[in-house]
Amino acid sequence: MRQLFASALVLTLVATSAAGLRASEPQAKDIVDTAVAAGSFTTLAKALQAAGLIETLKGKGPFTVFAPTDEAFAKLPAGTLEALLKDKAKLTAILTYHVVAGKVMAADVVKLKEAKTVQGQMVMIDTSMGVKVNNANVVKTDIACSNGVIDVIDSVLLPK
């Protein structure tokens, strides 16, 4: 009987410890940490840092970020990125043009024709052949983050 009680106690402690481990597992990373960990958004991270937007995108949100890859930034005309990194106001306007307030998943995007960005202007959404935001192709959707979602795009969006 004593052995049965001891076994039951050990099983209870093991189950409680395992449950505690599951409860303390980290949640998904925020938008910035997710982008940095992916390794294909180093230019975006550098631009966010230069614009002073890191803390904003690490904030509560939720945000939807149309995130251009390093290759997307490489498509900009020569000297454009360097000039933007020196012009905080223009850089901020461009980066916030890539952000929509709220968590907009792919299933929601296909129902939209446009979305208002944090910058204030609208981006046009075309789902007739894949998904496009303005002229950028969405190449990966619904990367879940603790404070929103990332959709990967193949071009940098430029406000008018």
What tens digit of pLDDT does each residue of 90-108 get? 999 999 999 999 999 999 9
For residue 109, the model assigns a pLDDT of 86
Q: Is the model's pLDDT at 6 over the cut of 60?
A: no
Domain ranges of the chain: 28-153
Strand order in the sheet with 122-126: 99-101, 63-68, 148-153, 136-145, 132-133, 122-126, 114-116
CA 37 to chain centre: 11
Which amino acid appears at position 31 of this protein?
I
Q: How high is the pLDDT of residue 27?
A: 52
Could you give the count of Cα atoms lying within 13 Å of 71 in the half-sphere of its Cβ?
Answer: 8
Query: Does pLDDT of 64 surpass 50?
Result: yes
Pick the CATH number of 28-153 from 2.102.10.10, 3.40.720.10, 2.30.180.10, 3.40.50.300: 2.30.180.10
Percent of the chain past pLDDT 70, that is, above it, reads 83
Q: What is the pLDDT of residue 110?
A: 84
Measured between alpha carbons, how far is 150 from 80 in angstroms, rounded to an integer? 24
In this prediction, residues 132-137 reach a mean pLDDT of 96
**Mean pLDDT over residues 30-57, rounded?**
94
| pLDDT higher than threshold 90 for residue 16 | no
